Structure 1
Amino acid sequence: MTARHPLRPLTGTRVVSFEHAVSVPYAGRLLADLGADVIKVERPGTGDFARGYDAACGDVSSYFAWINRGKRSVVLDLKDADGLAAAHRLVDTADVVLANLGPGATARLGLDGETLRARRPSLVTCELTGYGEGGPSAGRKAYDALIQSEAGLLEITGDGPVTARAGISVADIAAGVQVQSAVLAALLHRERTGEGATLRITLLEALTEWMHQPMLYALGTGTAPTRSGGHHPSIAPYGPFPCADGAVHLAVQNEREWLRLCTVVLGDAAVAADPRFTTVRSRVEHREELHALLHARFAPLTSAHLGRLLDGADIAWSAVGHVGELPQHPQLAARGRFVPVAVPGGEPVPMTVPPVDSSAWPPPSSPAVPALGAHTAEVLAELGYEEKEIAALTVGA
């Protein structure tokens, strides 16, 4: 049996990130999970403004703790000549430079991809903006909820006449995943050719990629998918149904499953032949009648009893979970998917290990969430700064 290699894929790779909020910090954390030395450059005083979004994790927010574990925090004043010079000196040690500063900021600071790669062609740079270069929206600020609205996600999310923002920062997450994927591809390209890459990604285009299916549905049918709460807009029955002691979320994908639901769970094969319910389309068209029938049949059953019936019929189902109970989820707990992670000014918090199990490299070992500027002196010393220079650069940091 081959022994597990102690190194992770990006061990020895340095990522310097001029980042804030969610999108690029999330990408950086994914790279840190793979072994990269991710150095997060923050402004003096408050640092990344996402540190203060809430007070759920000691001195930092739940957002910040989630997407910044395993990084090193360095405070530099990029508006100061010496601070900016230190940032450039740091960049000169990097394999990858990430950024999602305000529109035009990297160019003003000489930290844009073109400028950096002019002196180091092997460098990989990736800048995320809201809308990209050119077009009527170039230069506009963009945040997650605004992009959810602009890309049409709000239009199809909610219930009936009520629209809703998705409960997580889906535009930022979509962009962060794209940044990570592009950086990994660029590093492979450099390994093969010796040439780096200048990468550009936008929030709008990252979420638009995820909006393809509802877009195609709207183009093909002439109407956007209906807002249907927790139920699927174009498949039925597919959603949460109340029962005697709570609710069960079930999913019927095809006519074979529908027949089994009727015969095994409902005990009534005649329902399967009801012309209102014989096809997916007809069940969606008569969703109200279908739901009324299922509500009546499920009302006297406990969730455990209904779950056993659904298992017996080979129908996919799940409990209706609560987010605060995820660390105790029986499946996640049995597989050891949560580990304690240290946060500044608080008790360790549970966080998941990366969702990919690899035979080739180990998961990260208890990465901590950095306090603001915790690694400034350490990193500046690595760059060759003397103690007096470090002291001058960290005054007020």
Structure 2
Amino acid sequence: MAILNGMRVVEGSAFVAIPLAGMTLAQMGADVIRFDRLEGGLDARRWPVAPNGRSLFWAGLNKGKRSVAVDMKSPEGRELITRIVTAPGEDAGLFLTNLRVRGWMDYETLSRHRADLVMLTLTGDRHGRAAVDYTVNPSLGFPDATGPEGSTDPVAHVLPAWDCIAGNMAVAGLLAAERARLRTGRGQQVEIALKDVAAAMLGNLGILGETELTGQSRPKAGNALYGAYGQDFVCACGRRVMVVGLTQRQWRGLLDVTGTAEEMDALGRRLGRDLSQEGERWHARHEITAILEPWFAARKVADFADAFDKAGVAWSVFRDFRTAMEEDPDLSTENPLFTRIDQPGIGELLTPQSPFAFSAARRADPAPAPQLGQHTEEVLADVAGLSSGEIGRLFDKGVVGGPVPAA
């Protein structure tokens, strides 16, 4: 039995963070019901897409959910969503959204129908303005600290980091409010802003303090690891590796395998720096790299891979996505995280289940994402409590819809 079996969460969402939050809960066993417009939500055709045009983005972030398609412009459609969100049940009345609509899909309105409603809302910024990762990052300074040393062009990151972090914080916020409800019987509204997630991490990682106290912005450092030693090297086989000497064990392992301990000791004496300290290694990074570069340039990855692993060196080969799938068994069914499932409308895909492994609960196999409207009829019956006649009338009027074929 999955750890959240019996919990019901309703999701009205788009983009990354809230769909990720709903999927995370679904993969731990919660019954997550997603509602969308009849023609599909904002993510229905979002890239990346399969060769037939089906959205791999949708398939990836909606695994294991139930899907309801509703005409949200109609009063009947809005009433249906309200009934689904506020349906009775001790483990129900939990709502995730980043599509808040004042006067309808907001906490004040919905809690009139269920006083113990727990509703988590993600906004772009604390003022309610729109924001996504690609606007938050530039506004807070990260692209200006990213890129080759000495360059001036900002570099935006391809990973939507704040969306990913906000999605998992949304899970934590919803479960915390649900736990409070179990203890007190009271529901509540939980709000989180994407930009605040990023701003908080600026403070948590010490970047704000560093900037405030030094009066300087962190400079670009290429692939170097800020504040310690980490650098990329090109090997004799043409492959590039990343090597990190963050901890003392990692640093000593790197020196032992490369046979450069005496040179590093001499370098430290010459520079007046104790290279056993990670911050001192940062200041001496260019000189350290000059010593190590010839060693890597004279060797293929296969020549040192086993020795690095045995010595506890933190390192990796640089790969693109395709090469990673071809070479790394962690991106295959050798890793218990993954299995192959049939995603309707797309075909068989390598698919992750939840990364959590609970000792007292089974980690369930991943379920495919639903087709749009696949569960409309069953949700109207078992959650909204409608009769078959009422459901048929709603389908006939076009208030709700069933599965929509690919365009």
Which range, TM-score by smaller chain? 0.7 to 0.9
Offset of 1:193 from its aligned partner?
1.7
For residues 57-104 of structure 1, give each alpha carbon's deviation from its aligned partner in whole angstroms, at most 9, with x where no partner exists: 754333222211111111112111111111112112242111111xxx
For residues 201-254 of structure 1, give each alpha carbon's deviation from its aligned partner in whole angstroms, at most 9, with x where no partner exists: 100111222223122332343323332232212212x13221112122211124
Structure 2: 5+ residue runs without aligned partners? none
Paired position in structure 1 for 2:122: 128
State whether structure 2 residue 261 is matched by structure 1 residue 272: no
1:40 alignment partner, SS class? strand
For residues 135-158 of structure 1, give each alpha carbon's deviation from its aligned partner in whole angstroms, at most 9, with x where no partner exists: xxx242112210112232223222
The 8 Å contact of residues 17 and 98 in structure 1, kept in 2 or not, is answered as yes
Instruction: Choose from 105, 111, 114 the match for 2:105.
Output: 111
Paired position in structure 2 for 1:390: 395
RMSD of aligned alpha carbons: 2.4
Change (3 A) 1:206 1:268: closer
Paired position in structure 2 for 1:355: 355
Amino acid at match of 2:281: R
Q: Which whole-Å CA distance do the structure 2 matches of 1:248 and 1:230 have between them?
A: 11
Instruction: Choose from 88, 96, 111 the match for 2:82.
Output: 88
Q: Which whole-Å CA distance do the structure 1 matches of 2:41 and 2:227 have between them?
A: 45
Matches within 5 A, 1:1-397: 6=1, 8-49=2-43, 51-56=45-50, 59-93=53-87, 94-101=92-99, 105-108=100-103, 110-132=104-126, 138-160=127-149, 161=151, 162-212=153-203, 213=205, 214-236=207-229, 238-245=230-237, 246-254=239-247, 257-275=250-268, 276=271, 278-279=274-275, 280-327=278-325, 329-331=328-330, 333=332, 334-382=334-382, 383=384, 384=386, 385-392=390-397, 393-394=399-400
The 8 Å contact of residues 59 and 343 in structure 2, kept in 1 or not, is answered as yes
1:386 alignment partner, SS class? helix
Paired position in structure 2 for 1:3: none
The 8 Å contact of residues 75 and 372 in structure 1, kept in 2 or not, is answered as yes
Taking structure 1 as the reference length, the TM-score comes to 0.88
Aligned length: 381
1:357 alignment partner, SS class? coil
Compare 311-320 and 290-299 and name the one that shifted more: 311-320
Amino acid at match of 2:219: T
Change (3 A) 1:218 1:124: same
Offset of 1:265 from its aligned partner?
1.5
The 8 Å contact of residues 253 and 308 in structure 2, kept in 1 or not, is answered as no
1:159 alignment partner, SS class? coil
Change (3 A) 1:352 1:336: same
Amino acid at match of 1:330: P
1:230 alignment partner, SS class? coil
Change (3 A) 1:191 1:320: same
Q: Which whole-Å CA distance do the structure 1 matches of 2:363 and 2:254 have between them?
A: 41
Compare 273-282 and 293-302 and name the one that shifted more: 273-282
Compare 79-88 and 310-319 and name the one that shifted more: 310-319
Q: Which whole-Å CA distance do the structure 2 matches of 1:351 and 1:326 have between them?
A: 15
Amino acid at match of 1:96: L
The 8 Å contact of residues 249 and 312 in structure 2, kept in 1 or not, is answered as no
Q: Which whole-Å CA distance do the structure 1 matches of 2:48 and 2:201 have between them?
A: 28
The 8 Å contact of residues 111 and 117 in structure 2, kept in 1 or not, is answered as yes
For residues 21-73 of structure 1, give each alpha carbon's deviation from its aligned partner in whole angstroms, at most 9, with x where no partner exists: 11111111111111111111111213233533231375433322221111111
The 8 Å contact of residues 40 and 69 in structure 2, kept in 1 or not, is answered as no
Change (3 A) 1:13 1:149: same
The 8 Å contact of residues 13 and 36 in structure 1, kept in 2 or not, is answered as yes
Change (3 A) 1:256 1:76: closer
Q: Which whole-Å CA distance do the structure 2 matches of 1:141 and 1:314 have between them?
A: 45
Amino acid at match of 1:248: V
Q: Which whole-Å CA distance do the structure 1 matches of 2:362 and 2:48 have between them?
A: 32
Change (3 A) 1:325 1:114: farther
Offset of 1:192 from its aligned partner?
1.6
The 8 Å contact of residues 97 and 121 in structure 2, kept in 1 or not, is answered as yes
Amino acid at match of 2:132: Y
Amino acid at match of 1:289: E
Offset of 1:260 from its aligned partner?
4.7
Offset of 1:263 from its aligned partner?
4.3
Moved over 6 A (4+): none
Paired position in structure 2 for 1:135: none
Compare 70-79 and 226-235 and name the one that shifted more: 226-235
Taking structure 2 as the reference length, the TM-score comes to 0.86
Change (3 A) 1:389 1:281: closer
1:126 alignment partner, SS class? strand
Change (3 A) 1:274 1:57: same
Q: Which whole-Å CA distance do the structure 2 matches of 1:153 and 1:359 have between them?
A: 38
